[in-house]
Amino acid sequence: METLQPLFHTCRCRNRARFPAGHSARESGESRTQSTSRQPCSRTPPRHGCDHNAVSIGLLTVSKGLSSLGRSWTMSPSGRPRPLSFVLLLGMGMASGRTNCPSRCSCQYLEVNCTGQQLQEFPEAIPLDTRQLILAANNVSYLPAVELSFLVDLVYLDCRRNLLGGDLDFTFIGVAKLVYLDLSFNNLTQVTFSTFSHLLSLVVLKISDNPNLVAIEKDAFANNTWLRHLDVSRTGLVFLDTSMVRDLPNLRFLGLSDNLWHCNCSFLDFIIWMTESNVHFPDADNITCYTPEGLRALKMPAVEAQLRFSCLIQLYKQDYIFLCLIGFCIFFAGTVAAWLAGVCAVIYKVHTSKGEDGDEEEEEDTVT
């Protein structure tokens, strides 16, 4: 109690100087009952003043003694809570709430770091105001959508080097503010429209080093128009639809190295887009074809020239089959048309010959 007196006395002096006597009837009534216990106000400015810094200093000084002050300090004689006591207790409650941290994780301001803690499951008791969550280098195999949806202010999520795999559809439905997402070095198998469609603010997405990732749907990033950095290097992808990346207006960085690209005529459009776009391709020397055998290990510029020649001039087996079918159809149609024409000619000839015979018989009857 003795520790609180200087702070409270300073605040009373400042308030008395700011508000003239008789400004509040409630304050005037309280001053009459406690006038004998107040100290006179000094004309010199107080050392600390009645501001937030002084209140913070008072919080640190008396935090250990507030538990013994009792109800008398929290309630005024009229039964209403004292403002300063209420602020002190509320501040202590907020401070105690911020100290909650998941087991085996370290917490700083708005950040929870659980790197390399051999976690098997998504950590519990994550503060709801967390904005940066790092779960790198663990054994987490599942991200619960419900628990993630509580972290509505989350903007940074690092889950690299875990065991995440299977279907991640609707996992990130509750973290719409997410800007950075790292899912590299996991066991992802596919990316569909429902995987990242709710991340409307996503700027950086890393899904590299997922050797089982073999398919990305055409419209997988249709809602991620702010996406600027996309990395799909070192995966099991053999094909990437051109429209999927061409429709991303803010894309500036695209990682494609060390994939099993199948460089056929369908892939030619994507190679042409690569050469004409303003997107940066890191590690471009390792963006090579894996199949067919004749194009293996060739870089994209060299592949483009060969594909242009082979796809526009040379014919494949299916092309020859198509031409044969067309020729057979034309031959069959011509044969049928010629047969029909012959039949019509014979019918016409027979009809005309009968007409001539009838005319001759009429002439003979007339003569006789």
pLDDT for the residue 48: 38
The pLDDT value recorded for residue 250 is 96
Instruction: Tell me the residue type at 57.
Output: I
DSSP secondary structure of 287-339 = -BEEESGGGTT-BHHHHHHHHHHHHHT---HHHHHHHHHHHHHHHHHHHHHHH
Write the pLDDT tens digit of every residue in 145-158. Answer: 999 999 999 999 99
| pLDDT given for residue 274 in this prediction | 92
The pTM of the full predicted model, rounded to 2 decimals, is: 0.62
> Is the pLDDT score of 56 beyond 70?
no
d(CA 234, CA 211): 7
pLDDT at 290: 93
Taking the alpha carbons at both ends of the chain, their separation in whole angstroms is 159
Contact present, 296 and 304 (Cβ < 8 Å): no
DSSP 66: G
Mean pLDDT, the chain, integer? 77
b/e for 315-329, b at 16 or more Cβ within 10 A?
eeeeeeeeeeeeeee
Q: What is the pLDDT of residues 86-142, one digit of tens each?
A: 333 344 444 444 458 999 999 999 999 999 999 999 999 999 999 999 999 999 999
Amino acid (1-letter code) at residue 331: F
pLDDT at 350: 81
Q: What is the mean pLDDT of residues 256-275?
A: 92
Highest mean pLDDT among 2-16, 53-67, 150-164, 314-328: 150-164
Phi-psi region of 234 (alpha: psi -120 to 50; beta: other; left: phi over 0): left
The amino acid occupying position 232 is V
Q: Give the largest Cα separation in the chain, rounded.
A: 167
